[in-house]
Chains A and B, each alone.
Chain A
Amino acid sequence: MKTNKIILLFFSILTALTTITACSDNDLNLVDPTNLSPESFFKTEPQVQSSVNAAYANLQTIGLFSRAYFFMYDLMGVDASGNPQLEADKVQYANFSFDSNHANIGDYWESCYRGINKANFVIDNSNIINALPDATISLEKKNKYISEAKFLRALYYFLLVNRFGDIPLITKVPTTSEGYPRSPKQEVYDLIISDLKTASTDLLDKDVEQKGRATKQAAIALLGKVYLYLEQYDLALAEFNKLNGKFTLEPNYFDNFKEETEHGRESIFEIGYEETLGTGTLWNSGFTGAGQNEATLRGQEYGFNNWFNTYPAPGLLADYETGDSRFEDSFYTDGDIFEGDVNQRIIRTGTPPGPVPSTEIYIPLARPAAWRKYQNYYKRANENGNSSINFKYIRYADVLLMMAECESLRPGGDQATAISYINQVRQRPSVMLPTLPLTLTKTEVFDAIMHERRVELAGEQSRFSDLIRWGKAETVLASQGFAPKNKLWPIPAREISSNPAISETDQNQGY
């Protein structure tokens, strides 16, 4: 009896306990107050635009243009040579000793795929975007936004397929953690071409689009470049010809590499930097693109009055014709004025004979030359860690030289026409080198193109890819340690370890 009463009491009080503590399932239903939810997105034009903006941000990573990209390509293509202070992983580009653990190669891979996923986020939601009322976004704008995403997806895939060959081809935002196997590179090219075709019709003209965004012309130029890489010269030429009249060369070669003259008449697509927008996460942005990475480290890394990690390769210096003003525009050598220095010191090379006079400054390590292209030294004596100078991913001089190549190599190509494209580049007002005779043979034209591309695009990360597609890498780069396997990079170890659909046996040959 007494026990029963106690049991009854216990259970009444248990009920009371719960009530008093006021526990409720609703307390467990919490919504993240800091981040947007997917359900509430893609309702307004600023939201659509914002989703597109995110896809650009991965261009500015350590793994791509902010840092690794210029080291990788300049060192592999021997535009640049490493000074003793060059970090060990960078030395591995120069002597082709990298393997699948190479951190920056992984960063490059991941930067591209992060960008692709952001582009897919836009493209995957195109149904929702297209269903928005025209009053919210016009049809033209809807197409343009989706095409910006397609342009960027194509660009990232192009960067990948050139370096890794067969790669996972992903066109959707993943909903599960399952990985994709490698797809034949032809399928990747098919997607790139299809995306760029859409982009080249739906993107806005460069005259009306905001500076920095992908334009119709950027898509056309990139599509032409892709066709060139596939050796489909006629298709490439057809695209390049669409750019007629839209671009001219900068009269002054050096204006391509200054902050003040960005998005000029020669510029087709640039990787944008603006350090005043913030550089807070620059060093931490290996591949995510998140945060403020609005500067490139190139100036700091290459500058002779800063870290001076690389210097212009002797072979590159030797390739310039006498009197080619592009040499002076690209490099500092003995006797030049240190322009950005308040004291206007004279630049000297070699080992200082003793105390350096206050009127002089020596390029360290007795190097014969140092980089001027893409440095801020034209206006300041120090790089100050960050640079706002945009990278020209494609500029018209490059297009002209690609056109020359296509014309020369296409079946039935006209060598004289090809030479005239080269001559346009040589006849830039600030350069004004003698024109090449229009009578050169096809082989001579090709040699001329190889030379002209090297000096015109020195330090612009073009050389290595050119040597690969020309089949010249094995001979030209043999002394650097280049082996046939190095035509492709290894699939990063971090992809193999995280993707069940790719195993070690799927690794590129030789790695």
Chain B
Amino acid sequence: MKKTVVKQRLLIRLMKMTLYQFLLTLIFSTVTMANSLNGQGKLDAKVTISVSDMNLNNALKELEKSADVKFSYNSRMVSSNQKISIKAEDELLSTILSRILKPLNIKYSLISNHIVLQKEDNKKEHNSSFSQQQKTLTGIVYDANGVALPGASILVKGSTTGTSTDFDGKFSINVDNSATVLIISYIGFDTVEIPIGDKTDFKITLNESSQKLNEVIIIGYGTQNRASVTGAISTVKAEQMAALPVANAVEALQGRAAGVSIVNTGGPGSEPLVNIRGFGSFNNTAPLYVVDGVIVGSLSGVNQNDIESVNVLKDASTTAVYGAKGSNGVIVVTTKKGTKGAIQLSLNVLTGFQNQNKRYDLLNTEQYLQYAKDAFGTIPTTPSSQSGVNTNWQDQIYQAGLVRNYDFGISGGGEKSSVRISGGYAEKEGIIIGTDFERYSFRANSDFTLGKLKIGESMSVAFNRTRPELDGGGRTLLEHAIKSAPYLTVYNPNNLGGFQGPNASGDTNDAENPVRIMKLPTVNNKSFSFIGNIFAELEIAKDLKFKTQVGVDYYSTNNSRFTPSFNDDSLGATHTQNFATIDKGTSFGQNIIFTNSLTYDKTFANVHNFQFLLLAEKIQSKFNSLNATSRNPISNDIDNILGSNQQIAATSSSNEYNKIGYLARLNYDFNNKYIASASIRRDGSSRFGANERYGWFYSGSLGWNIAKEDFMVDSDFSTLKLRGSYGISGNDNIPNYAYSAVLTSDFLYPIDGEGAAGTTANGLANPNLKWEQSEQLNIGLDIGLFKEKLTAAVEYYVNKSDDLLLNVPLPTSLGVNSGSQYRNVGSVESKGFEVTIGYNDYEGDFKWAANLNFGTSKSEAKSLGGTVTELLGGDFEGESITRITEGQTLYHYYGLVMDGIYQNQAEVNAVFTANPSQTTVTPGDIRYKDLNNDGNITNADKTIIGDALPDFTYGLNLDASYKNWDFNMFFTGLQGRDLINTNIYDLEGMSRLFNSGVNVMDRWTPTNPSNSIPKAGGAPQNTSISTRYLEDGSFTRLKNLSIGYTLPSEVFGQNYFSKCRIYISGQNLFTITDYSGLDPEIGNSNGFQSGIDRGAFPQPKTYLVGLQLTF
């Protein structure tokens, strides 16, 4: 009996799914399909059946067996104690159904190969003579996303009067005038009670109940029921991402999934950094992105409001099916599809602004001039140094930026087709002057069923325009703002270009006018992307489907930058350009993915569920670019490259990348209780030489649904599942042609006044280059208690990557032009825990839910292959900050340990015992620990001082609602991450005279024996990489706060809409951190740079109001 209910729930849930998902779900459910899929044919099938005095439920089950059909109905609607008897031999199914159902006032219709049962309209039941005591109520029932729900049950409280919604989710019911409350229920949703009052028309929204067991998870090349998932998958739902003002959908994933680290960097429109389960590679650790089955390079062209769900695949059992691309994890994005039934129109509007008020405390003009005189004995002699101007350069580079998003989506569909189209506009001005982002996006998803053939497509186009933060001379804007002398004015109409910069007047003039850097050039970076697929799926035999799909990711960029000539100081130009520069670049790239697959889905003996997949895939990628720059010394009026201009430099390049893959996968479960799966994939890539072109990737996993065991029947566990997986996935993240030796012609030398072009060998070939392999073990436990009110998942993983593809630096004395060679060296091990805990209270007027995710990750270099002992990176002032060595945490910082300041010569002498004559270090300089006790301070005293990998990361989401009010609070953060704040060098380095932080006024002097800030000037060692720059980058950030109010549908007297929600929200409203810099959220796709803050673009606070409407 219990089993039957589960099955019914499943069936009815299926009804509300789109046709596409519906079919995919069928593959994984125990449902078997009729021989004929043609609806009408099904009703015309001849059936033999004989039952007597059986309740309707069981009778229908018998019929399902003998007629090979499926019924969908609301159990409330069909009274189970209704007994029926029928005997038929070779009768039309339609006839049999009429015989059974007509007397029970039940009508049937065929929807999506299911026979849906509904009560006949109640009108007929009632005699018109009662009409004066009755009224007719009408309405429509939606889910939270505004999708109409067919088959929902409507019952008048305290009576047996009831009906159900039709195909469009609409109902009409005659009730006694005395009726006060309607009860609306639907399987998988919370039951609601609606007071009737004087109303006759209702718009009712049902919220999904917390039952997650039957949720369908999109995995690689297919779908699975959550119950039968054995791998590590994190799912992020559309509603968690909606209504955030993000320029890239990935940003909205931040903090949502355990083990998935996302760092926002740069200005609006720049690509966030994503890292799944630590650093498994020395190369790019970006995951693979798959949108509707198309492998794409980035999600920047996907509007987050079009996203239905995001599944993050984290372990081998889920990623090995992507073979040579899966080892960094896979982010699978599914976009919203058309819905059947009534046409839905939804609109989302939000607007607001963002800003950032945190500043470094810098010297003002008076303080600066005093500092210059006291610390460097310099009195700046430029006229403006005495002008009394006091410019706060930080205020000059930051602004409040406008944020706007408009989206619409319309969807609908009939029995055999469904369509959704959507469009959006997003605009985001950066908090740094001159930066912004703009996107227009359009999408159309549709599918059609033609008998046994199903054809569908999804296509999206996006036009992006970005104006990025610019740098000047390789220094960030913030560095310029810190260092610029405060006595300078921002603008000066007497200078060419209209800006004022420093001159060689005594203070140092590295710093350029940051406002000029941003405002003088005209920059426009445009991109266009098209992501689409078209597929056809044919049921070629019973349980056997063939699917063919072509996916395309096409993108083009068009970047231009025009910088007119300028001279920032007509009195003595330090920053000047006596010609206009024009840079133009275009590129386009395309990935075409052609996939053919065969799935066989079969249940034997009702308990052995098999799903078998065979797949062949071919990926072809092409990329072309053309870049040209020129100088125009005669005019600032033309932003095009003219043939007569001097110094035109143009380059073009193209490259290709092809891949071939074959995959076989078997999923098996015994009655959803014991689960096993295995996959094997063979991939060939053009990125490797003929010797090692192909690789094997495989995985296996096991799962045990303990909660389904008989001994668990009476327990509070609704879910208790133990699962484990093991497998190998790969990575070919290296440039194309890296295995081959080529020549390069990028050399020039003037001979006789002409440019003589040079050509030489570029690098060393490595024909034995092969895949990077990641061996991944994952053990997980899923817990659900009290009907999934309390859920938890715990994962433990160990990923060991071998044959790491590393661009190994060659001995510099070899003089090889590439400087390095790709080799398979070294191994890295990452391991960690992930915990997800959720609590959902969906009952009563006050509902709340809390979700916590927590992940640890530790990555260690196990081996560097013996050829090199260490890898260095993260250059700063000629030194390397970051290092990889065997047996140590990846990307640790390597530097000296600061131990105060030398207060007198005796203290200096006490340390430099082996080098007593050294004259560089004197009192007032930094004392470093002589770790090797050799009586000298050298590089040998450097040690591991920290690392950029956090001990753990977390996200905490709190949702609450009270009646029409809803509330969300989302925290994200990390703990135990060290940052190197190079801004300290700019603020307190005092190696030369720049504007500085106010702390320099408290520097060491003979009369001010500071023990933390050394003297000005001082020994070169004072600025060495050391714990002086090391800071704790741990933080907790209120990532999102929103308060919404859903207007009662009748608020305007009529039902204009099914949902109208207004909300206010804020992002990054506060951050708890000890970090002294502007923002502890620091990242870089280069692991060596990942924790170095060189004046990063801080994440802004955003304040928004928004409106969500569904019609």
* Inter-chain contacts of A272 with B (CB < 8 A): 749-751
- Say which one of B304-312, B507-515, B956-964, B1006-1014 lies at the interface with A: B507-515
CB within 8 Å of B: which of A19-43?
A: 20-25, 27-38, 41
A498 touches B810 (CB 8 A): yes
**CB 8 Å contact bits of A396-428 with B (1 = contact, 0 = none):** 000000000000000000000000000000000
Beta-carbon nearest neighbor of B646 in chain A:
A276
- Given contacts A32-B736, A102-B878, A60 and B749 within 8 Å (CB-CB): yes
What is the CA–CA distance of A356 and B686 in the complex, to the nearest angstrom? 68
CB within 8 Å of B: which of A245-303?
A: 272-274, 276-280, 283, 288-294
Is A314 in the interface zone, CB < 8 Å from B? no
Beta-carbon nearest neighbor of A53 in chain B:
B758
A54 touches B381 (CB 8 A): no
Is A364 in the interface zone, CB < 8 Å from B? yes
* Inter-chain contacts of B620 with A (CB < 8 A): 27
A85 touches B509 (CB 8 A): yes
What is the CA–CA distance of A87 and B762 in the complex, to the nearest angstrom? 33
Beta-carbon nearest neighbor of B940 in chain A:
A504
**CB 8 Å contact bits of B641-659 with A (1 = contact, 0 = none):** 0000011010011111111
* Inter-chain contacts of B1019 with A (CB < 8 A): 97
- Given contacts A41-B743, A498-B868, A273 and B656 within 8 Å (CB-CB): no
- Say which one of B106-114, B813-821, B1087-1095 lies at the interface with A: B813-821
Is A323 in the interface zone, CB < 8 Å from B? no
B993 touches A289 (CB 8 A): no
**CB 8 Å contact bits of B496-535 with A (1 = contact, 0 = none):** 0000000111111110000000000000000000000000
B816 touches A174 (CB 8 A): yes
Is B638 in the interface zone, CB < 8 Å from A? no
CB distance from A260 to the nearest CB of B (A): 12
B813 touches A30 (CB 8 A): no
* Inter-chain contacts of A177 with B (CB < 8 A): 764, 808, 810-811, 814, 821, 823, 867
What is the CA–CA distance of A364 and B379 in the complex, to the nearest angstrom? 11
Partner of B761, one of A32, A38, A501: A38
Is A136 in the interface zone, CB < 8 Å from B? no
* Inter-chain contacts of A121 with B (CB < 8 A): 760-761
**CB 8 Å contact bits of B594-611 with A (1 = contact, 0 = none):** 111110100000000000
- Given contacts A28-B685, A53-B757, A210-B752, A494 and B812 within 8 Å (CB-CB): yes
CB distance from B231 to the nearest CB of A (A): 25
- Say which one of A88-96, A215-223, A227-235 lies at the interface with B: A88-96
CB distance from A478 to the nearest CB of B (A): 10
Beta-carbon nearest neighbor of B823 in chain A:
A177
Is B203 in the interface zone, CB < 8 Å from A? no
* Inter-chain contacts of B757 with A (CB < 8 A): 50, 53
A21 touches B616 (CB 8 A): yes
B760 touches A54 (CB 8 A): yes
**CB 8 Å contact bits of A349-364 with B (1 = contact, 0 = none):** 0011001100001101
B755 touches A294 (CB 8 A): yes
* Inter-chain contacts of B616 with A (CB < 8 A): 14, 17-18, 20-21, 23
- Say which one of B194-202, B567-575, B1100-1108 lies at the interface with A: B567-575
Is A459 in the interface zone, CB < 8 Å from B? no
Interface size class of A (residues with CB under 8 A): 35 or more
- Say which one of A110-118, A441-449, A460-468 lies at the interface with B: A110-118
CB distance from B757 to the nearest CB of A (A): 6
CB within 8 Å of A: which of B792-834?
A: 808-817, 819, 821, 823
- Given contacts A89-B878, A97-B1020, A29 and B690 within 8 Å (CB-CB): yes
* Inter-chain contacts of A102 with B (CB < 8 A): 878
- Say which one of B177-185, B541-549, B943-951 lies at the interface with A: B541-549
Is A499 in the interface zone, CB < 8 Å from B? yes
What is the CA–CA distance of A50 and B745 in the complex, to the nearest angstrom? 8
CB distance from B44 to the nearest CB of A (A): 25
A21 touches B747 (CB 8 A): no
Partner of A38, one of B657, B741, B809, B877: B741
Is A175 in the interface zone, CB < 8 Å from B? yes
Looking at A17, A47, A56, A361, which has the most chain B CB atoms within 10 Å of its CB? A17
- Given contacts A30-B686, A53-B756, A498-B810, A10 and B598 within 8 Å (CB-CB): yes
Is A368 in the interface zone, CB < 8 Å from B? no
Partner of A50, one of B503, B758, B870, B1023: B758
* Inter-chain contacts of B740 with A (CB < 8 A): 32, 37
CB distance from A118 to the nearest CB of B (A): 5
- Given contacts A177-B810, A308-B504, A85 and B510 within 8 Å (CB-CB): yes
CB distance from B377 to the nearest CB of A (A): 9
A17 touches B573 (CB 8 A): no
A306 touches B573 (CB 8 A): yes
B747 touches A304 (CB 8 A): no
What is the CA–CA distance of A23 and B381 in the complex, to the nearest angstrom? 73
- Say which one of A165-173, A193-201, A326-334, A431-439 lies at the interface with B: A165-173
Partner of B541, one of A9, A22, A307: A9
What is the CA–CA distance of A38 and B504 in the complex, to the nearest angstrom? 50
Is A137 in the interface zone, CB < 8 Å from B? no
* Inter-chain contacts of B715 with A (CB < 8 A): none
B764 touches A30 (CB 8 A): no
Beta-carbon nearest neighbor of A109 in chain B:
B812
Partner of B578, one of A174, A292, A305, A382: A382
What is the CA–CA distance of A48 and B757 in the complex, to the nearest angstrom? 11
- Given contacts A84-B378, A212-B751, A168 and B736 within 8 Å (CB-CB): no
A498 touches B572 (CB 8 A): no
Partner of B991, one of A9, A18, A88, A175: A88
What is the CA–CA distance of A114 and B597 in the complex, to the nearest angstrom? 51
B993 touches A84 (CB 8 A): yes
* Inter-chain contacts of A115 with B (CB < 8 A): 815
Beta-carbon nearest neighbor of A382 in chain B:
B573
Is A455 in the interface zone, CB < 8 Å from B? no
- Given contacts A30-B686, A53-B758, A54-B758, A290 and B813 within 8 Å (CB-CB): no
CB within 8 Å of B: which of A332-358?
A: 351-352, 355-356
CB distance from A271 to the nearest CB of B (A): 10
Beta-carbon nearest neighbor of A98 in chain B:
B1020
Beta-carbon nearest neighbor of A384 in chain B:
B578
CB distance from A275 to the nearest CB of B (A): 8
What is the CA–CA distance of A177 and B878 in the complex, to the nearest angstrom? 25
Is A127 in the interface zone, CB < 8 Å from B? no
A57 touches B572 (CB 8 A): no
Is B618 in the interface zone, CB < 8 Å from A? yes
* Inter-chain contacts of B685 with A (CB < 8 A): 28
* Inter-chain contacts of A101 with B (CB < 8 A): 878-880, 939
* Inter-chain contacts of B867 with A (CB < 8 A): 177, 500
* Inter-chain contacts of A382 with B (CB < 8 A): 567, 573, 576, 578
CB within 8 Å of A: which of B752-788?
A: 752-762, 764
Beta-carbon nearest neighbor of B581 in chain A:
A280
What is the CA–CA distance of A110 and B818 in the complex, to the nearest angstrom? 12
CB distance from A89 to the nearest CB of B (A): 5
Is A450 in the interface zone, CB < 8 Å from B? no
* Inter-chain contacts of B612 with A (CB < 8 A): 10
Is B615 in the interface zone, CB < 8 Å from A? yes
B816 touches A283 (CB 8 A): no
B817 touches A117 (CB 8 A): yes
Is A205 in the interface zone, CB < 8 Å from B? no
**CB 8 Å contact bits of B727-751 with A (1 = contact, 0 = none):** 0000000001100111111111111
* Inter-chain contacts of B508 with A (CB < 8 A): 84-85
Residue pairs across A and B with Cβ atoms less than 8 A apart, 12 shown, are A6-B544, A10-B600, A21-B594, A27-B620, A37-B740, A37-B741, A278-B748, A288-B819, A306-B574, A307-B504, A351-B379, A364-B505
7 A-B pairs with least C-beta separation: A54-B758, A117-B815, A103-B878, A179-B811, A499-B811, A53-B758, A85-B508
Known: A13-B614, A175-B764, A307-B574. 19 other contacts (CB 8 A): A21-B594, A32-B740, A34-B654, A38-B743, A53-B749, A57-B748, A57-B758, A97-B920, A117-B814, A168-B813, A272-B750, A276-B646, A290-B817, A305-B572, A365-B505, A494-B812, A499-B811, A499-B813, A500-B811
